């Protein structure tokens, strides 16, 4: 009888150990699944939050000279905002109607309209939009007129891209 109990006990101990590890492994898998689900939900929440921020944090670069527009886009791509482009005043206004930007960086001289007229229209359409004007001509009257119309800044070309980036970053 003792031998029988010993054999049964000896055979059941490895089985009990096996069951212990199987149950523990299932528990770990369930925990990993729960963590993965939590991580997935967090990633979706962060993605949604990033999309919300992107929709509210965009800049519209309005410049008729393509090389300058490309340079500005590349310089501003390093900032945490979406950079959109327009070549003319009309394109800028259409862009603002379709998808408003937080900041507009605009040349005073545009092929179809005066940049100051576009500034007035943008400020009427979207008073909360911050407009920064730029010009190859550092005419004090234009600077004063732009600021009186609601421009928050004025940069004379050529300007320091780092200074422009820092100024725009401070407005975010």
Nearest to 144 by CA among 116, 105, 106: 116
- Residue 52's pLDDT band, with cuts at 50, 70 and 90, is very low
- Quickly count: other Cβ atoms within 10 Å of residue 106's Cβ: 25
pTM: 0.66
| β-strand partners of 130 | 103
Q: In the chain, where are the structural domains located?
A: 1-56, 57-171
Mean pLDDT of 132-151: 88
Was domain 57-171 assigned CATH 3.40.50.2300? Answer: yes
């Amino acid at each position: 009888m003792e031998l029988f109990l010993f054999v049964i006990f000896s055979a059941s101990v490895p089985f009990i150990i096996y069951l212990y590890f199987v149950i523990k492994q299932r528990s770990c898998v369930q925990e990993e699944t729960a963590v993965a689900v939590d991580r997935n939900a967090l990633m979706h929440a962060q993605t949604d939050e990033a999309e919300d921020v992107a929709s509210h944090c965009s800049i519209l670069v309005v410049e008729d000279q393509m090389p300058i527009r490309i340079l500005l886009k590349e310089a501003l791509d390093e900032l945490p905002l979406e950079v959109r482009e327009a070549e003319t005043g009309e394109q800028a206004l259409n862009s603002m109607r379709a998808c408003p930007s937080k900041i507009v960086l605009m040349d005073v001289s545009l092929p179809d309209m005066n940049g100051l007229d576009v500034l007035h229209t943008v400020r009427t359409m979207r008073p909360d939009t911050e407009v920064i004007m730029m010009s190859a001509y550092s005419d004090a009257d234009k600077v004063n007129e732009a600021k009186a119309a609601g421009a928050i800044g004025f940069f004379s070309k050529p300007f320091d891209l780092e200074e422009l980036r820092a100024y725009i970053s401070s407005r975010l």
